[in-house]
Structures are given as C-alpha cells and as structure tokens.
Amino acid sequence: MSPGPAPTSPDQPSAPSVLAHARVGLLSWSDEGRVLLANAAVHQWLEVPDGRLVGQPLDAVLSPDSLTLHRRHVQPALSQHGRVDDVAWTLRGAAQLAVPVLLAAGRDTSGPTPVNHGVLLPNRHAQAQQALLAGRLTEATQLAAQKDELLAAVAHDLRTPISAILGWVRVMRSGKLDAAMLNKALDTIDRNAKAQADMVNGLLDGSRAPEATEAQIAAAPTLVAASSPAPAGPSKPGKEERISLKGLRVLVVDDDRDARGLLKVLLEGAGASVSTAASSEQALDSLALEGVPDVLLSDVGMPGRDGFALIREIRASKMPWSKTIAAIAVTGRARPQDRVDLLQAGYQAHLCKPVEPAEVLAMVKALARPR
C-alpha cells in the first residue's frame, strides 16, 4: 500500500499563499492577452493596489514596445513551442512607471482553455542602465539651465555698454547738448566701447567657458536686436512727439555710473526732477530721507542687494506708498522668464537694455503716480 500524502502542519503556508507573496513576479494571461493572475510583487512593482491587474488587458501591464514584442514574438512562440526564456520586458504601471524585467514563461494546455504562466525577475542590468540614463538626463538638464543662465548673464553684461553707447548717440542727435555735455557723451561712448571690446575678447579667449563661447557670441547680437522695437517707418526731423515729464520726480538706481548718467540726462531733458542711487542701500536711504518719487527706475543685476531684493523690500515695508509706488525694472536680461520673475517680484514694467529714450519717457509718463 503506497503511503498517502505527507501531513500538512496548520502553520505551514499553502502553495497559493507562497506564490502570492513570492518576491519574484508571477503573471498568468490568456491567449487573448487578458491578465488572469498577478501576485503581490507585480502589483508592488507597478504601484497599483493588489488585485487591480486581474481582468485587465496586457496593455495595462506592458510598455508599448514590450506589448508589440509580446504580440509579434512571445505569444506566437508560446503557442508554437510551449515556452520562452529570458525575454526582456518592460512593465508599465502608475504614472508611466517603467520596470524592466526578464520573463520565463510556459503554456498550460491541460485545461479547457490554454493559460500562459510567466515568472518575472527584475532585470538588474536594465535597471542600472535606466538609472544611468536618468542621471545623465538630470545632469544634462542642469547643464542646460547653467548655460542658459550664463548666456543671460553675458547678454546682460554686453547690453550695459551698448545701452550707454546707443543712448548717448541718440541724445547727441537731438542737438541739445552744450560743449561740456557733448564731451561727456563722447567720453562715455569711448569708455563703453572699450569695455565691450574687453568683454568680447574675454569671450574669444575661451578661458571662461570654452563650450559656451560660440553660443554666447552668436546669441548676444540676436538678444540685443530683439530688445529694440522695429521702427514704424522713416523718421522725419522735427515731427517726433515730445513727451513732457515736467513736475515728476524720478529715482534712478543703477550701479553703473554711465547708465545712471544717461537716464538722468534723458529724464531731466523731458522736465523731470531726478535723483540717483548707486545701490539698493542708497535707494532705500533716498526713499527715507527725500520721500517717495513718482517713479522708481531700477537696474536689476547690481552687486550685493540686487533689484529683486530692492523691490521686495519696498513692497514689504509698512510705508503707505509701498504698494503703490510705480517701479520699472531696467535690465539686460531679456528672457520671457526674466520678465515674469520681475513682475512677480513687484515691478509693474520691464525695460530691456539698450533702452530706447522715447520708450523710457513714455513708460515713465504712463506709470507716474497721479498727484
């Protein structure tokens, strides 16, 4: 008499329990591609609740590439040969989560309908490659952001002397300068032309950022050209509309003396009363001692406390005018995101260097606080 089956301890886990909680993935599906069984490991890998996959099509489990591989090769091989080994699959779960696995599967034809049973093992090599690619993508994203910031900084530095040169040229063409102011204009143009030449030479020597040099040089003229609006038509001498700022008080803040001087001449030429400050600290002192101006014109890229910090401190102060003072940012940064950041910080308007004299005067007049 043959011995019967060995007795089972009440504490001994059943086979279905072992399979359900195995650390390997267990997946069964029909020939039509519908999930019949998926153990806890598969659900955990795909970050879906237990039991959610049962009854779902394989589309919910496999990535598009793996689904195509399954339909064209894996299922036909199972139907013809009854088994497959070492198939590289990628599972797809919540939020397009990609899980690389290796599949070994067999086809069971003992029942009324065939069933395919697969064992899934984590594909360590593919996971390592995936992590490496993710790291490289993160690094590339960071480098792109750094290069973008570098280009913005270079454009800002190039725009500052350009703004002084073009601004003084336009003031000279007005024919309103006396001999002393004309000499000042020529000295400013000469000084800023040399400063720009030094910056271009610094870019060309390749010692600062070799990989970005060509992009910087190529981008700078484009940025400068984009900052100036296209002329509406040929200008006619004596036909330009004169903008009067008589009675308005303006505070100009810029660490660059030529930029300060140019804006002061432009604004005073239109009748405004102008105070200047070479830093955010001086600007705050001026506001405390001289009172609030009608308009604040501030550079952004200043050392120490920059234009962002200045306007945030003004807006956060308890002074009755802190929320209403008209503030215009004057900067060499021309990216759309720069404009968004400036407006969110508290400026109402943004002028990009090199500034157009008529645009400066028109914006100051438009934003001046009503008395």
3-state secondary structure of 214: helix
pLDDT band with cut points at 50, 70 and 90 for residue 3: very low
Q: What is the pLDDT of residues 256-278, one digit of tens each?
A: 888 888 899 889 989 999 999 99
33-43 burial code (b ≥16 CB/10 A, e <16): bebebbbbbbb
Residues 152 and 283 in one domain: yes
3-state secondary structure of 8: coil
Residues 293 and 185 in one domain: yes
- Average pLDDT in the 112-116 region? 94
- The answer to which of 146-160, 206-220, 222-236 has the lowest mean pLDDT is 222-236
Assigned domain for 238 exists: no
Q: What is the pLDDT of residues 78-89, one digit of tens each?
A: 999 999 998 888
187 pLDDT higher than 90 = no
Q: What are residue 297's DSSP bridge partners?
A: 252, 328
The tokens describing 1, both together, are: 């008499």
CATH number, domain of 83, equals 3.30.450.20
Residues 187 and 148 in one domain: yes
Q: What is the residue type of 102?
A: L
273-277 vs 295-299, strand pairing mode: unpaired
Residues 101 and 147 in one domain: no
The tokens describing 312, both together, are: 């945030």
Residues 31 and 167 in one domain: no
218-229 burial code (b ≥16 CB/10 A, e <16): ebbeebbeebee
Q: What is the pLDDT of residue 88?
A: 86
Residues 208 and 322 in one domain: yes
- The answer to which of 151-165, 221-235, 293-307, 348-362 has the lowest mean pLDDT is 221-235
Give the distance, in angstroms, between the CA of residue 175 and the centroid of all CA atoms in the same chain: 45
- Average pLDDT in the 248-255 region? 94
103 pLDDT higher than 70 = yes
Domain termination residue (choose one: 58, 91, 122): 122
51 pLDDT higher than 60 = yes
Q: How many domains does the chain have?
A: 2
| Residue spans of alpha helices (H) in the chain | 15-20, 40-45, 64-69, 75-81, 124-173, 179-204, 213-227, 257-269, 280-290, 307-316, 336-345, 357-367
Domain termination residue (choose one: 122, 152, 178): 122
Distance between CA atoms of residues 250 and 245, nearest Å: 10
Distance between CA atoms of residues 159 and 223, nearest Å: 9
Assigned domain for 146 exists: yes
Residues 197 and 328 in one domain: yes
Q: What is the pLDDT of residue 21?
A: 59
The tokens describing 188, both together, are: 């400013």
Q: Do the Cβ atoms of 87 and 100 come closer than 8 Å?
A: no
* Residue range(s) defining the domain that contains residue 35: 22-122
Total residues belonging to the chain: 371
| Whole-structure pTM value | 0.48
